[in-house]
Chains A and B, each alone.
Chain A
Amino acid sequence: MRHDDRTLDNCIKCSDCNTACPVMKAYPAFPGPKVLGPDTERFRKEGVASDTRWVEYCTGCHGCDVACPHGVHVSELIAKAKAQHTKTGIRAVRDHWLARPAFLGTLCSGTTPFSNAIMGLKPNRWLMSSMADITAERPFPAYSSKPLTEADGNVNRGQKVVFFPGCFIRYNNPEVGRIVVELLRRNGFSVEVATASCCGMPSMANGDKAELMRCVEKNVKEMEPAVARGVPIVTACTSCSYALKGDYAHLPEGSSGFAASARKLSSNTYDLAELLTGLLNAGKLNVDFRATPLKLAYHAPCHLKSQGIGRPWLRLLRAVPGIEIEEIKADCCGMAGTFGFKSEKYPISMDIGQELFDGIAAYKPEFVVTECGSCQMQIAHGTGLKTRHPAEILLEAYQNGTSTRVAV
């Protein structure tokens, strides 16, 4: 994809991006992607001062990029503006920490169960809401005392892959990580777990360019040897896979060896379901499934939609006898990572998600599946239904599929 300055000139002001923006629908005062992206970028490029406060309200869902008929990377222009926008007061401090999920994960996972207990205390949440503008309306995800580590890999004689778990799976839901490793093993892969750093998506969303570039550097360096040998990098979180595929390809500028390595990592990254669907198409997927009668609602995360790989989990889960699964057609769920935790953005976040919550309620599923950890939190909060990662369902559908600790 082209990421040079010229794509800005492709904008003909058709407003297609505005019609796709979930924030504009929920919050009419928001100027929208056309103004914040290509319109204001022209001023920014000339060094003309412009009001940047609104850029904080962009969720980074990529809806505008997908809608644009002329290849303008609208959300990237807004992300650039976010990086130039200076925050003040408690929101600056808050966003500094929200941009560092790997640090928070290490800290909180190392101090469970105290960290979880403190995060769950009402007085503490009230304090955080009044002192740090973090909403007390929604629960924090619990941290696991056993985060995913290199030791959770499964190195065998199969085809080598590197699993990049991302922060949510690594610190909050490591059991899903172990399920992913087992799914890959059952399909003939030898799995190494990469744990260098956060993918950088949260720092990008919070306008922290320096932290973002630190993430890019650590990850590219850690995975470089594997990528050089042509080993696929696999993720099970669509925001991580978008960051690695879409953002790493152009973030290190210029033609340095590092930029080339980053691009190589991009072209070597696969979403888990994308990889497994490839096996399904080639008739090589392990399909030793048992009848699994379940009625499931599926939500396609925004960062899956912007990868252009279709809905691979729908295909995989439909390959299991007994599973009835439908995609609930709706916009963004509204969570957008750390966006939904911020007090001033919480009502907008819930308003954006309403269409999805209503669609799920009308379908009446047993529970909801989606591969994005942040979408899972929002859907559980908005519907009261259980949400699960589709990899969990697929592994359970295998004969003897409930245990992740099957001997090799």
Chain B
Amino acid sequence: MSANEFDVLVIGEGLAGVVAAAAAVSRGAQVTLASTGPGRFVLATACLDLDRIVADGSGSVAYTPQELKEAVSFFADFSGRAGCAYEGSVEERRMLPTVMGTFQTVSLAPRSIWQGDPRSMAKAVIVGIEGLSGFDADFVAERLFFHTQQMGLNTSYRSVTIKPPEDLPRPLTTVEIATRWDRDPAYRAAFTDKFRSVVSDAELMILPGVLGVKSDDNDFKHLEEKIGCAICELPTMPPSVPGLRLLRHFERQLVRIGVEVITGFSVQKLCIDGDRCTGAHLDVPGRPRLIRADSVVLATGRFSHLLERQQSHDSSPRPPTQVDDELHALTIAGDVVPTNLFECGGALGKFDPLHGNAIAILTGHQAGILACETEVNYAAR
């Protein structure tokens, strides 16, 4: 086996799994990504908050600032190629509005969200959509105004609610609008006209995340040119359209760089042979499907985690998985079992469950690389 021909299996299609798969490809691996479902993307705000990981440390995950920087820049580059580029950097801190009318500190976010900082403009218009559940433009405007006043800023927020161009059943969801947006050019054009007519002198238009699941960076650029001001989408209740959009673009980018993506089937068991994990069985109709691999990355998240660490039937949350410095999963007794099995993402260590994105990117990047290095070392031996 040459160093360029080894198989890495990544289990889980959340942010950690996506980054791990891309990182393994960048190190020359042939990668299969298997997942039961779309990870946390449907719940995603799509924003990266690096403050938490920097302030709290990251529990059982050891890293240097340089490693974090490399992982983040790898991810930003990947997202750009996928067509939804993350803007910002490890050093940057922006205050971006939320659907609840508060501000969150964000280091990186996709273009459609990145421009909402009140410190960079004086006038914003918040556009609501009649019949849409879970978004109230008046409420958001009032709260954002209150918060900017508290911060001593003079940004003004005006709210306006527009009628959607086509009568859809009520209550409307963001996914329904996004679907129409994707499918019907006339619907897009009619919405764009409505946006243009309410913007007037605002520098920024804030609206719920409805602008299509298929839209990419170019589409947003063109839309901003047409309506004459910057856009900031607010991710709403799940399923979040900006999250679905990221998933769609990331998945397609993975396929473009040669990853085989198998979604919809859970992993039944890992194949452990001595100190090696040789693959996994997928639970597909008929009979289990065996995916062989030279190394395996677990990016299964905390919620539907693969490795049962305790036989417990109470409702207490599972303890986090412990790993060593090289992200090997450890048993309760602290032993490494398979030397080519790596863990990353939400299942790891103590971290704020609301701000796991940074951990996912950091450890996903590391696990993808370690999965390749261990294989190269093993082949050399």
Chain A residues within 8 Å of B, Cβ to Cβ: 1, 14-16, 18-19, 24-25, 28-29, 65-71, 242, 244-246, 249, 266-267, 269, 305-310, 329, 354-355
B286 beta carbon closer than 8 Å to chain A: yes
* Interface contact B244-A308, CB-CB below 8 Å: no
* Interface contact B264-A306, CB-CB below 8 Å: yes
Which one of B36-44, B148-156, B343-351 is at the interface?
B36-44
- Bound CA span A113–B75, Å: 63
**Complex contacts, B183 vs chain A, CB 8 Å:** 25, 354-355
State how many residues of chain B have any CB contact under 8 Å with chain A. Answer: 33
Q: Which residue of chain B has the shortest Cβ distance to A28 in the bound complex?
A: B168
B138 beta carbon closer than 8 Å to chain A: no
* Interface contact B285-A306, CB-CB below 8 Å: yes
Known: A70-B36, A305-B264. A28 touches B286 (CB 8 A): no
Shortest beta-carbon contacts, A-B, top 4 = A69-B37, A308-B284, A66-B264, A245-B286
B176 beta carbon closer than 8 Å to chain A: yes
Other-chain residue from A16, A25, A310 in contact with B42 (beta carbon distance below 8 A)? A16
B304 beta carbon closer than 8 Å to chain A: yes
* Interface contact B285-A307, CB-CB below 8 Å: yes
**Complex contacts, B87 vs chain A, CB 8 Å:** none
**Complex contacts, B180 vs chain A, CB 8 Å:** 28
* Interface contact A70-B263, CB-CB below 8 Å: no
**Complex contacts, A310 vs chain B, CB 8 Å:** 260, 262
* Interface contact B285-A16, CB-CB below 8 Å: no
**Complex contacts, A244 vs chain B, CB 8 Å:** 286
- Bound CA span A15–B289, Å: 27
- Bound CA span A68–B35, Å: 11
Known: A1-B283, A249-B285, A308-B262. A15 touches B238 (CB 8 A): yes
- Bound CA span A69–B305, Å: 12
B90 beta carbon closer than 8 Å to chain A: no
**Complex contacts, A269 vs chain B, CB 8 Å:** 286
Q: Which residue of chain B has the shortest Cβ distance to A27 in the bound complex?
A: B169
- Bound CA span A266–B288, Å: 11
- Bound CA span A68–B286, Å: 19
Chain B residues within 8 Å of A, Cβ to Cβ: 35-39, 42-43, 168-169, 175-176, 179-180, 183, 213, 238-239, 244, 252, 260, 262-266, 282-287, 289, 304
* Interface contact A309-B284, CB-CB below 8 Å: yes
* Interface contact B289-A309, CB-CB below 8 Å: yes
* Interface contact A66-B286, CB-CB below 8 Å: no
- Bound CA span A307–B286, Å: 8
**Complex contacts, B168 vs chain A, CB 8 Å:** 28
* Interface contact A267-B287, CB-CB below 8 Å: yes
Give min CB distance, A350 to chain B, whole Å: 13
* Interface contact A19-B286, CB-CB below 8 Å: no
**Complex contacts, B39 vs chain A, CB 8 Å:** 69
Interface centre among A28, A266, A305, A329 (most CB of B within 10 A): A28
* Interface contact A16-B286, CB-CB below 8 Å: no
**Complex contacts, B239 vs chain A, CB 8 Å:** 14-16, 18-19
Known: A245-B285, A309-B284. A14 touches B264 (CB 8 A): no
**Complex contacts, A307 vs chain B, CB 8 Å:** 284-286
Interface centre among B38, B239, B263, B285 (most CB of A within 10 A): B285
Q: Which residue of chain B has the shortest Cβ distance to A247 in the bound complex?
A: B285
- Bound CA span A19–B248, Å: 12
* Interface contact B42-A19, CB-CB below 8 Å: yes
- Bound CA span A36–B145, Å: 42
Q: Which residue of chain A has the shortest Cβ distance to B289 in the bound complex?
A: A308
- Bound CA span A71–B35, Å: 11
- Bound CA span A18–B175, Å: 9
Given A14-B238, A355-B183, 14 additional A-B pairs, CB 8 A: A14-B42, A14-B239, A19-B213, A19-B239, A28-B176, A69-B39, A70-B37, A249-B285, A249-B286, A266-B285, A307-B286, A308-B285, A309-B284, A329-B252
**Complex contacts, B35 vs chain A, CB 8 Å:** 69
Give min CB distance, B284 to chain A, whole Å: 3
Interface centre among B35, B169, B264, B289 (most CB of A within 10 A): B264
**Complex contacts, A68 vs chain B, CB 8 Å:** 36-37, 264
* Interface contact B175-A15, CB-CB below 8 Å: yes
- Bound CA span A14–B289, Å: 27
Give min CB distance, B301 to chain A, whole Å: 9
- Bound CA span A367–B269, Å: 41
* Interface contact A70-B169, CB-CB below 8 Å: no
Could you pull out 16 A-B pairs where Cβ atoms are within 8 angstroms? A14-B43, A14-B238, A14-B239, A19-B42, A24-B179, A28-B180, A65-B264, A68-B264, A69-B37, A71-B36, A245-B286, A246-B286, A249-B286, A308-B262, A308-B265, A309-B289
Known: A19-B42, A25-B179. A66 touches B285 (CB 8 A): no
Give min CB distance, B79 to chain A, whole Å: 20
- Bound CA span A24–B183, Å: 12
Give min CB distance, B52 to chain A, whole Å: 24
- Bound CA span A308–B260, Å: 12
Other-chain residue from A28, A65, A69, A309 in contact with B38 (beta carbon distance below 8 A)? A69
Known: A1-B283, A308-B265, A308-B284. A70 touches B175 (CB 8 A): no
**Complex contacts, A308 vs chain B, CB 8 Å:** 262, 264-265, 282, 284-285, 289
Q: Which residue of chain B has the shortest Cβ distance to A30 in the bound complex?
A: B169
**Complex contacts, A24 vs chain B, CB 8 Å:** 176, 179
Q: Which residue of chain B has the shortest Cβ distance to A12 in the bound complex?
A: B303
**Complex contacts, B285 vs chain A, CB 8 Å:** 1, 242, 245-246, 249, 266, 306-308
**Complex contacts, A69 vs chain B, CB 8 Å:** 35-39, 304
- Bound CA span A1–B289, Å: 12
**Complex contacts, A67 vs chain B, CB 8 Å:** 37-38, 264
* Interface contact A28-B289, CB-CB below 8 Å: no
Give min CB distance, B271 to chain A, whole Å: 17
**Complex contacts, B244 vs chain A, CB 8 Å:** 19
**Complex contacts, A70 vs chain B, CB 8 Å:** 36-37, 304
- Bound CA span A354–B185, Å: 13
- Bound CA span A28–B183, Å: 13
Give min CB distance, B42 to chain A, whole Å: 6
* Interface contact B286-A266, CB-CB below 8 Å: yes
**Complex contacts, B286 vs chain A, CB 8 Å:** 244-246, 249, 266-267, 269, 307
- Bound CA span A329–B256, Å: 13
